[in-house]
Chains A and B, each alone.
Chain A
Amino acid sequence: MIQTPSRPDVDSLPTPPEVPTHSPEMPLAIDDLTVAYHNKPVLWDIDLDIPEGKLVGIVGPNGAGKSTLMKACLDLVPKASGRVMVYGKPYKRQRSLVGYVPQRESVDWDYPISALDVVTMGTYGRIGLFRPVRKLHRDTAMNALEHVGIGHLAKRQISQLSGGQQQRVFLARALAQDARLYFMDEPFAAVDASTERAIIDLLHELKDQGKTCLVVHHDLSTVAQYFDWVVLLNMRVVKAGPTEDVFTRENLHATYGGRLALLEEAGQALRDAGR
């Protein structure tokens, strides 16, 4: 049983990582990123380097700014300061290298569009403005759909898919985009077991191709199993690095504060009751 720690004051926190020097080929290098909604700061002096070919879990309590970090990297929310480099160049010039799987709720599922059409959107960046979609692109999309195991649902309107299938459509879209760096916002939220399995397989496949995936994740119990690199986030980077070094009880306490203790107490209580 773990003692509930008194709230650590700022001085006793693990020291933040040294300001890193960026190697030009880092898939993602974030410098001094600060984001504020209205006048409320959400992310604070983020410095982060992600090495190539890793599956990176972004972990932190609710409201820690995990999704905001992604959106700020992708210019979806304004940055108060800082810069984001993708493969050594500013993100704006490297958009084609970056894929994104948004949270499922962010989309209008009533939209009159089929699964295949959604996946085809992944190729729009390559097609370019004003040019029409060709069969080649639709084939790419179809392959991506089949890759995630729902090729037979290509013609379905998207609201007629189950939650897991909708998530797969988004993954397929990211695949069709053929990026080198992927941002995925809670892909495991509310999906069924087989979709979870499929996503994991897909992540490993991407990793084997030398691609890098950043995944916002909320389930602490599977972090060590799924990811080989972890970013602990609570409005600033508490710790980032290889899972086995970073994903420790001590660091989690620094990330979650009293909330983790509550969590573990509850788990312990359940275990005791079960015995």
Chain B
Amino acid sequence: MAMRPLLAITVLGLSSVLSAAEGGFFHFPDASELWEVLTLRNYNTRLVVGSTSLLGLASGVIGSFLLLRKRSLMGDTLSHACLPGICIMYLVMTGLGGSGKSLPGLLFGATVTGLLGVWLVMLIRNTTRMKDDSAMGIILSVFYGFGVVLLSVIKGLPDSSAAGLESYIYGKVGSMVLQDFFLIASVTGVVLVASCFLLKEFTLLCFDDAYAGILGWNTHVLDLVLLALVTAVTVIGLQAVGLILIIAFLITPAAAARFWTDDLRIMLFLAGAIGGFSGWFGSSISALTPRLSAGALIVLMAALVFLFSMFFGKTRGVVVRLRSQRRLHRKVGRQHLLRALYELLEEQAGDRFGEFPSNAPVRISSLQAKRSWTPGRLRRLIRQAQKEDHLERSGGETVQLSEPGFGEAARTTRNHRLWETYLITHADVAPQHVDRDADRVEHVLGPELVRQLEEKLARDGKPLVSLPSPHLITPGGAGI
């Protein structure tokens, strides 16, 4: 029920964004232009779109492990920690008389400081009482601060050619060349192959690292391998999407994929697909509207997929869980109503000892007095029971159980009483056995125990419930 405001606000937000888009705030290209780009007609587009799709694919896969290891924000720390490395390598390379812009050199620097940052995070966490989050926050801000310091030093150099370095913060796909594509392609290849070969290792590491240690695996090394792969993806992604947005590549597709499946392998596949799709689609739009940064568009694309998955995901989506919650709610309501009706019938038949209650009309007002229902809730319950063919409305003020409804009511009441007695008499073992949904208590507890319980019920003066012949019990009532 707490979901309603969420839904309302989301719908509101989405519609306002859409109307803003319609109103011309965002200028979106028309379909034919888009098609041309999506099908990669142009060489430069092909390069960019290919690169970002591969990047999305690789980061989706490796990001899934990061997500399951609960280290998502480590990617953020990592990417921020790359900045000083880039600047240091620039200073070193210019100091040695080079151009300072050599891509492999810069990426090497990024990798070194990135890994150093990650290692420091783990060290802080292991040697102090600080948790992951503080350790990551410290390293992120201090390394980034150091990067800014160096960047500003570089900007102050007389022959300033440092403008390019800032693209590592916000990303710039436009500057991509064939060399970059090959780099991204090869890193993607490495990530995919490593994920295949290390599938079972990473699975166990993320699920139960203690057990991995028991098996004799060095979990620190495995963690380092995982983070090295993340680093590789981050570093090659820096240039394209920038160090702030790169973690969205790592987290969002993986988190979106999680809503659709409970199987890790499928999740990996889906996360890769979502990442690849976002990369392809986002950079295609950007190719048509160059002033809109590709990184941002890709991230938004992935976020849309995430939002959709969060609501409509097949296994963990909000709608699915909401529906099952409602089903439970409805079932409990139905059982309460039927039992109340049956108990009223018993009271009516109460004078004639030994006779089982027979079906008869019951006044709604007496039903109302039976439990703490609000009138509205009772009305809804009755309507629902009518729909399920358990109840017939006989006249304005009375209701009567239908034939299947009567059977269902008797069954519900009997189960309820048996369970109550069982909980009292077998308090030590009971809670684990109680399965109120079971069709017949006998199936869970066995006929002998049920006979004993019924004897006890009779001793306590509770009326017996005889079930109408079994075939009258409708599967519709029991199965849901």
Considering the chains assembled together, what is the distance between the CA atoms of A75 and B199 in angstroms? 24
Residues of chain A in range 120-163 having any CB-CB distance to chain B below 8 Å:
121, 124-125, 127, 129-130, 132-133, 157, 162-163
Stretch at the interface among A110-118, A224-232, A262-270: A110-118
Residues of chain B in range 136-158 having any CB-CB distance to chain A below 8 Å:
none
Q: Pick the residue among B70, B203, B216 that contacts A96 (CB under 8 A).
A: B216
Q: Are A74's CB and B432's CB within 8 A?
A: no
Q: Give A91-102 as 1s and 0s: 1 = Cβ < 8 Å from B's Cβ atoms.
A: 010011011101
Q: Are A163's CB and B200's CB within 8 A?
A: no
Considering the chains assembled together, what is the distance between the CA atoms of A114 and B267 in angstroms? 13
Closest to B129 in A: A38
Q: Which of B204, B211, B262 counts the most A-chain CB atoms under 10 A from its CB?
A: B211
Closest to B426 in A: A193
Residues in B with CB closer than 8 Å to A125 are 215-216
Q: Are A112's CB and B263's CB within 8 A?
A: yes
Closest to B196 in A: A132
Is the CB of B475 closer than 8 A to any CB of chain A?
Answer: no
Residues of chain B in range 66-92 having any CB-CB distance to chain A below 8 Å:
68, 70
Given contacts A113-B203, A121-B204, contact A163 B432 (CB under 8 A): yes
Considering the chains assembled together, what is the distance between the CA atoms of A197 and B262 in angstroms? 31
Is the CB of A273 closer than 8 A to any CB of chain B?
Answer: no
Q: Are B204's CB and A112's CB within 8 A?
A: no
Q: Are B200's CB and A192's CB within 8 A?
A: no
Q: Are A162's CB and B206's CB within 8 A?
A: no
Given contacts A74-B214, A76-B213, contact A112 B208 (CB under 8 A): no
Q: Are A162's CB and B214's CB within 8 A?
A: no
Is the CB of A191 closer than 8 A to any CB of chain B?
Answer: yes
Residues of chain A in range 16-69 having any CB-CB distance to chain B below 8 Å:
none
Is the CB of B383 closer than 8 A to any CB of chain A?
Answer: no
Q: Chain B nearest CB: distance from A220 CB in Å? A: 15
Considering the chains assembled together, what is the distance between the CA atoms of A102 and B208 in angstroms? 10
Q: Chain A nearest CB: distance from B213 CB in Å? A: 6
Is the CB of B217 closer than 8 A to any CB of chain A?
Answer: yes
Considering the chains assembled together, what is the distance between the CA atoms of A192 and B444 in angstroms? 13
Is the CB of A1 closer than 8 A to any CB of chain B?
Answer: no
Residues in B with CB closer than 8 Å to A187 are none
Closest to B217 in A: A129
Q: Are B258's CB and A100's CB within 8 A?
A: no
Is the CB of B433 closer than 8 A to any CB of chain A?
Answer: yes
Considering the chains assembled together, what is the distance between the CA atoms of A125 and B212 in angstroms? 9
Considering the chains assembled together, what is the distance between the CA atoms of A164 and B433 in angstroms? 11
Residues in B with CB closer than 8 Å to A117 are 203, 264
Given contacts A125-B216, A163-B432, contact A102 B211 (CB under 8 A): yes
Given contacts A111-B68, A121-B204, contact A95 B215 (CB under 8 A): yes
Closest to A76 in B: B210
**For this complex, into which size category does the number of interface residues on chain B fall?**
20 to 34
Given contacts A127-B200, A130-B198, contact A192 B216 (CB under 8 A): no
Q: Are A75's CB and B432's CB within 8 A?
A: no
Q: Are B208's CB and A106's CB within 8 A?
A: yes
Considering the chains assembled together, what is the distance between the CA atoms of A162 and B216 in angstroms? 30
Q: Are A112's CB and B262's CB within 8 A?
A: yes
Considering the chains assembled together, what is the distance between the CA atoms of A56 and B375 in angstroms? 61
Residues in B with CB closer than 8 Å to A76 are 210, 213-214
Considering the chains assembled together, what is the distance between the CA atoms of A195 and B431 in angstroms? 13
Q: Are B213's CB and A74's CB within 8 A?
A: yes
Residues in A with CB closer than 8 Å to B215 are 95, 124-125
Is the CB of A272 closer than 8 A to any CB of chain B?
Answer: no
Q: Are A75's CB and B213's CB within 8 A?
A: yes
Residues of chain A in range 204-262 having any CB-CB distance to chain B below 8 Å:
none
Considering the chains assembled together, what is the distance between the CA atoms of A111 and B215 in angstroms? 20
Q: Chain B nearest CB: distance from A85 CB in Å? A: 16
Residues in B with CB closer than 8 Å to A193 are 429, 432-433
Q: Chain B nearest CB: distance from A91 CB in Å? A: 10
Given contacts A112-B258, A164-B432, A192-B429, contact A130 B211 (CB under 8 A): no
Q: Are A102's CB and B210's CB within 8 A?
A: yes
Is the CB of B261 closer than 8 A to any CB of chain A?
Answer: yes
Considering the chains assembled together, what is the distance between the CA atoms of A92 and B197 in angstroms? 25
Residues of chain B in range 240-263 having any CB-CB distance to chain A below 8 Å:
258, 261-263
Closest to A173 in B: B211
Considering the chains assembled together, what is the distance between the CA atoms of A194 and B416 in angstroms? 23
Is the CB of A11 closer than 8 A to any CB of chain B?
Answer: no
Q: Pick the residue among A107, A192, A195 that contacts B207 (CB under 8 A).
A: A107
Considering the chains assembled together, what is the distance between the CA atoms of A75 and B212 in angstroms? 12
Q: Pick the residue among A127, A132, A163, A192 that contacts B433 (CB under 8 A).
A: A192
Is the CB of A9 closer than 8 A to any CB of chain B?
Answer: no
Considering the chains assembled together, what is the distance between the CA atoms of A121 and B210 in angstroms? 12
Considering the chains assembled together, what is the distance between the CA atoms of A75 and B432 in angstroms? 34
Residues in A with CB closer than 8 Å to B204 are 121, 124
Q: Are B214's CB and A95's CB within 8 A?
A: yes
Q: Give B295-332 as 1s and 0s: 1 = Cβ < 8 Å from A's Cβ atoms.
A: 00000000000000000000000000000000000000
Closest to B210 in A: A76
Residues in B with CB closer than 8 Å to A130 are 197-198, 201
Residues in B with CB closer than 8 Å to A132 are 199-200
Residues in B with CB closer than 8 Å to A107 are 207-208
Q: Are B200's CB and A133's CB within 8 A?
A: yes
Closest to B207 in A: A111
Q: Are A112's CB and B210's CB within 8 A?
A: no
Considering the chains assembled together, what is the distance between the CA atoms of A270 and B249 in angstroms? 62
Given contacts A102-B208, A102-B210, A121-B208, contact A162 B198 (CB under 8 A): no
Given contacts A102-B211, A121-B204, contact A112 B267 (CB under 8 A): yes
Residues in A with CB closer than 8 Å to B267 are 112
Residues in A with CB closer than 8 Å to B432 are 162-164, 191-193, 195
Q: Are A98's CB and B207's CB within 8 A?
A: no
Q: Chain A nearest CB: distance from B313 CB in Å? A: 12
Considering the chains assembled together, what is the distance between the CA atoms of A130 and B211 in angstroms? 17
Considering the chains assembled together, what is the distance between the CA atoms of A17 and B87 in angstroms? 64
Q: List 10 A-B contacts (CB under 8 A).
A: A75-B213, A76-B210, A76-B214, A108-B207, A111-B68, A121-B200, A121-B203, A124-B201, A130-B198, A195-B432
Interface residues of A (CB under 8 A from B): 74-76, 92, 95-96, 98-100, 102, 106-108, 111-114, 117-118, 121, 124-125, 127, 129-130, 132-133, 157, 162-164, 173, 191-193, 195
Interface residues of B (CB under 8 A from A): 68, 70, 197-201, 203-204, 206-208, 210-211, 213-217, 258, 261-264, 267, 429, 432-433
Which 7 A-B residue pairings sit nearest by Cβ, starting from the closest? A192-B432, A157-B262, A125-B215, A95-B216, A193-B429, A100-B214, A112-B264
Given contacts A99-B214, A127-B200, 5 further A-B contacts (CB under 8 A): A74-B213, A108-B208, A112-B258, A130-B198, A193-B429
